[in-house]
Structure 1
Amino acid sequence: METISEIETFGCTHYRRRCKIIAPCCNQVFGCRHCHNEAKNSNEINLVDRHDIPRHEVKKVICSLCDTEQDVQQYCINCGVCMGEYFCGTCKFFDDDISKQQFHCDECGICRTGGKDNFFHCKRCGCCYSKEIKEGHHCVERAMHHNCPICFEYLFDTLRETSVLPCGHTIHFECVKEMEKHHRYSCPVCSKSICDMSSVWKKLDQVVC
């Protein structure tokens, strides 16, 4: 019988959990859908031809403790272990790290992190955003349903932190920082400033004068 310390080591590089999934698209076993996507697309350059797992279609999981294959559920039917402290039957998602404050958004159709009370769902943008930007939020139709304009990763369900620019377009936070390192301060989509540039324009005016 596994000790507590051994149980805690189960999972993958993306999630701490006590089960593996059987990908419905290729019938192969992976730690999670991200493990599948990375393995299947490691040499893929063309984003159109990506082979990503349809998360809602996962039907079977395998318990990491007793290797029992079973329907998606929170507790193993054989050994009874909890396969994930956070469990979503809709997304077929398991995670033991509940400090992420996971929650399922019915309107997004997927699970988010950060605590349900800290977010609002913008119907026009089609995504959850932090309540901190709710008052001054500039809506853009389906703003998160596209690839990051810098790294081209799909933003809607990315694991990386995203930023909503003043113009309403979205981009990975680290991609914004990379732009700033190269002195690029305009939105890659609409070319509007991504920050208050008044001090910069003032200095330029002084130089010109």
Structure 2
Amino acid sequence: MAALVGCEHYARSCLLKAPCCGKLYVCRLCHDAEENHQMDRFKVEEVQCSECQTLQQAQKACQQCHVQFGEYYCDICHLFDKDKKQYHCQPCGICRIGPREKYFHCDKCNLCLAQDLQGNHKCVENVSRQNCPVCMEDIHTSRIGAHVLPCGHLLHKSCFDDMVRTSAYRCPLCMHSVWNMEEYWSQIDKEIAQSPMPIEYQGTTVKIMCNDCQAHCTVPFHVLGMKCTGCGSYNTAQDGGLIQQHPEPDNDNEPETNAEHQHDQSESP
């Protein structure tokens, strides 16, 4: 077998003939980067051997010089590549990097997920058919792996890693915390305990909505954060203005009314 060449995306020994424009490219991604339209991988019918330049029907090995076009070949996706334990998932409609036994297809999410997420993730119907909310690029057919958030939404793994580096901790779609924040909430508890509000704000409350448990509650106002009384999260949003707690009036020190003052004058000598 000749050494696989290919491009930065795939290792293969053939060029695909684009069914849309008839041009030869190593892969659909190389085609899409150069042209003003996209190649439909499923409609590819012909390939050209990189060794003998024979144009032929798409297949695993060259009919002329018998060189193998790729260690892995899918005759549905017309995918040629080095062996990465790939498998074709019929419900997904595309090939996935395996091995197959480490993944299962979630029918509701309509996506292949790691086995340790089976029965252990929040399903969002057809979640992978949405673009990544960070980079706005396709997730379902992307060569970049997907990261499943606790809320069930998906990000590209690389986009999630960028969020971690910038200390962003909320899902861009629903604002739910994307990892366990208990240690950080405890830190805010300590900071609030050491930073009392000025006297004019003491006793002031505010209505909040929690992005983690969706509870609505009224809590003490503090500039460092408002803590949900339901789940203890500081991932909350203020709902309305400040509620000032006014002290009850002291009846013993109430000023005289005009009527009382006039009555006193009428009895004066």
What's the TM-score bracket when you normalise by the shorter of the two chains? Answer: 0.7 to 0.9
1:23 aligns with 2:18: yes
* Equivalent position of 2:187 in the other structure: 203
Distance 2:67 2:174 in 1: 51
Which aligned pairs between 1:55-66 and structure 2 lie closer than 5 A? 55-66=41-52
Q: Distance in 2 between matches of 1:170 and 1:185?
A: 14
Q: Any idea what the Cα deviations from partners look like across 1:141-193, whole Å, max 9, x if unmatched? A: 11111211111110001111220111110001121121122221000011000
Give, as a single letter, the amino acid of the residue that structure 1 aligns with 2:57: D
In the superposition, the TM-score normalised over structure 1's length comes to: 0.88
Which residue type is aligned with residue 63 of structure 1? C
Q: Which moved more, 1:76-85 or 1:113-122?
A: 76-85
CA distance, structure 1, for counterparts of residue 145 and residue 11 of structure 2: 19
Report whether the alignment pairs 1:39 with 2:34: yes
SS of equivalent residue, structure 1 residue 121: strand
Matched, 1:166 2:150: yes
**Structure 2 residue matching 1:144: 3-state secondary structure:** helix
Q: Tell whether 2:66 aligns with 1:80.
A: yes
Residue 91 (structure 1) aligns with: 77
For residues 156 and 108 of structure 2, the distance between their equivalents in structure 1, rounded to whole angstroms, comes to 20
The alignment covers a number of residue pairs equal to 193
Unaligned runs of 5+ in 2: 194-269
Deviation of 1:9 after TM superposition, in Å, equals: 4.9
Q: Deviations over 1:56-80 (max 9, x none)?
A: 1111100111101111111211112
Distance 1:86 1:141 in 2: 31
3-state SS in 1 of match to 2:161 = helix
Question: Aligned pair 1:143/2:113, yes or no?
Answer: no
Letter in 1 for 2:132: C
State whether residues 149 and 171 of structure 1, in contact with CA within 8 Å, keep that contact through their aligned partners in structure 2. Answer: yes
SS at match of 1:8: coil
Aligned AA (1:162): A
In the TM superposition, structure 1's runs of 4+ consecutive aligned residues that sit over 3 Å from their partners are none
Partners of 2:164 and 2:12 lie apart in 1 by 37
Q: 2:110 aligns with which of 108, 112, 126?
A: 126
3-state DSSP of counterpart to 2:32: helix
Distance in 1 (CA, whole Å) between partners of 2:168 and 2:10 is 34
Give secondary structure in 2 for the equivalent of 1:180. Answer: helix
1:45 equivalent in structure 2: none
Distance 1:40 1:131 in 2: 38
Alignment match of 1:185 (pick from 165, 169, 174):
169
- Whole-angstrom distance in 2 between the partners of 1:151 and 1:180: 15
1:110-162, CA deviations, whole angstroms, 9 ceiling, x for partnerless residues?
10002111100011111101112113111001111121111111000111122
- Mark the structure with the bigger radius of gyration: 2
Percent same amino acid among aligned pairs? 39
Whether contact under 8 Å (1:20, 1:29) holds in the other structure is: yes
Aligned-residue RMSD, C-alpha: 1.3
In structure 1, what is the equivalent of residue 227 of structure 2? none
Structure 1, gaps ≥5 residues long: 42-50
Partner Cα distance (1:177, 1:113) in 2: 20
Q: Which amino acid aligns with 1:62?
A: Q
